[in-house]
Amino acid sequence: MRSFFSTLLLLNWGLLLVLLALAVGVIFLEDFINPQFRPILLFLYVIVAIFGTFYISITIARKVTDPLSMIEKKTKEINAGDFGVELSSPDILELANLTSSINEMAKRLKNQFLDLTVEKEKFNYLLQNLKEGVFAIDGNKKFLFLNRNIPSSIISENSSFKEIKSSVKNRELLQFMESKIKKSAEGRTEFQEGNHFYTARIYPIKSNDMIYLYIGVILDVTEDRQNQLIREQFFQNASHELKTPITSIKGYAETLEYKLNLLPNSNERKFLDAILRNTDRLIRIVEDMLTISRLENHKTILNADFFSLFELLQTVSDSLGVILSNKNQTLRLEVSKTLKVYADRVLLEDVLVNLISNASAYSPEGSLVLVKADESSEKFKIQVIDEGIGISPEDAERIFERFFRVDTNRSRKEGGTGLGLSIVKHIARLHSGEVYVSQNPKGGSIFTFEFPKK
């Protein structure tokens, strides 16, 4: 096997030698040939030289073009996904190396293609057997993929490569999809179809700030919703049923206190005070339970309006004055007198009462409770900062759950119900806002209540 240069050189030298030999023969024969035939001999020599050169050129061209044609054909087959048989090795070294590289590339691509096919089948099997319904949408608002767990009452069957507008049957879901695709954003929504409740999420898949497709997930939450409704109904019914006997117990206890006229240090007086104190605590728990039930059942209508936050905080400060003075605590307001918020005044007062009373309960005597508020172009932010025991990261995740307490002994001593922060969380949701807690660098906790301006 020779290189192209050496092959070309040898063929040219071979042609040259042949032409030289013919030239010597012509010169030798010239003396024996009649002069009138000498031009014919020269003409024959030229013809042989021309056709010899032509033959050598054709031979060289074929040695190059034939293998190149095979290589071109092979690359087209590889591009079409047909890896076929290997190319035979040409006689020219450079082309032999090229065909060897193409054969190796074809083997590697074939193995990769087989691996991708196996992975695709695994991924497709996984998606098809998920509990959730999964779909993919391209930039032209057409479905690329849908698994079989999407109910046909929501999205028509066999909707792959069809537009979402003609395939999605549920109007709420269609509006949600179109809205998120238009904004190029992710989102979550809840909708109902017949007797079933669903949640849907959509996520844009980006690369270099360019969105290639959207992945969506639909989950049937009917069972969870029914269980939630049962819990809420039980919670509400229990609250209503408990309120009457607790009120009756308190009435009888107050009557006994008035009628018996017991001595302050007597055991009977201590027992009666304990009954009254725990009855008041039960009443607060029942009232908080009723408040949560009302908020969860969406029976509370949000009466939002603009009002002065500083004036509301002064009202709250007056109502909590006794609690703060008993522990010699100071409530400081760093709120602009001109700041007006857009919210439900009654519900926001509940938020502030709960947050400030919690800050007082979990802070030592003589400490400072600070309330700060400001606004940005999009939202209001209110912070209640204490110098108390603080909240660990583990407890911070559960602090807004019902009846969860960081310090059980302290909560019982202070008479807390364990429902105040849960109420705050529900009021934040009603205002389309959020509430969260963070560590105070100086010790204690910072509770932040944020909600949009409108």
More confident residue, 156 or 66: 156
pLDDT of residue 411 exceeding 60: no
Grade residue 333 by pLDDT with cuts at 50, 70 and 90: very high
Q: Using alpha carbons only, what angle is made at residue 110 by residues 105 and 116, rounded to the nearest 5 degrees?
A: 125
pLDDT of residue 29: 66
Helix (H) or strand (E) holding 322: helix 321-326
Extract the tokens encoding 365: 């005597």
pLDDT of residue 405: 63
pLDDT of residue 401: 76
Helix (H, G, I), strand (E, B) or coil at 250: helix
Question: Do the Cβ atoms of 239 and 248 come closer than 8 Å?
Answer: no
Other beta carbons within 10 angstroms of residue 293's beta carbon come to 19
Grade residue 52 by pLDDT with cuts at 50, 70 and 90: confident
Question: Do the Cβ atoms of 380 and 372 come closer than 8 Å?
Answer: no
Q: Rounded distance, CA 274 to CA 116, Å?
A: 73
More confident residue, 250 or 238: 250
pLDDT of residue 407: 57
Q: Rounded distance, CA 239 to CA 293, Å?
A: 9
Rg (CA), the chain: 44
Q: Average pLDDT of 170-199?
A: 88
Q: Average pLDDT of 103-119?
A: 81
pLDDT of residue 450: 92
- Positive/negative CA dihedral, 414, 350, 353, 361: positive
pLDDT of residue 192: 86
pLDDT of residue 448 exceeding 60: yes
Angle of helix 267-296 versus helix 222-260 axis, rounded to 10: 150
Pair type for strands 187-193 and 143-146: unpaired
Rounded percentage of the chain residues whose pLDDT exceeds 70:
86
More confident residue, 91 or 212: 212
Q: Rounded distance, CA 71 to CA 77, Å?
A: 10
Q: Average pLDDT of 135-154?
A: 87
pLDDT of residue 404: 67
Q: Rounded distance, CA 423 to CA 431, Å?
A: 13
Q: What is the pLDDT of residues 350-378, one digit of tens each?
A: 899 889 988 888 888 889 999 999 988 88
Residue 193 neighbours by CB under 8 Å, 6+ apart:
151, 153, 154, 170
Grade residue 382 by pLDDT with cuts at 50, 70 and 90: very high
The CATH homologous superfamily to which domain 304-452 belongs is: Histidine kinase-like ATPase, C-terminal domain (3.30.565.10)
Q: Average pLDDT of 266-279?
A: 84
Grade residue 145 by pLDDT with cuts at 50, 70 and 90: confident
Grade residue 431 by pLDDT with cuts at 50, 70 and 90: confident
Residue 388 neighbours by CB under 8 Å, 6+ apart:
359, 362, 363, 364, 367, 443, 444, 445
- Domain ranges, ordered by start, for the chain: 4-115, 131-220, 224-296, 304-452
Grade residue 70 by pLDDT with cuts at 50, 70 and 90: confident
Give me the CATH topology for the region 131-220.
Answer: Beta-Lactamase (3.30.450)
More confident residue, 233 or 407: 233
Same-fold call for 131-220 versus 304-452? no
Helix (H, G, I), strand (E, B) or coil at 91: coil
Q: Report in angstroms the alpha-carbon separations of 313 from 118, 190, 302, 332, 446.
A: 65, 36, 20, 10, 17
Grade residue 4 by pLDDT with cuts at 50, 70 and 90: low
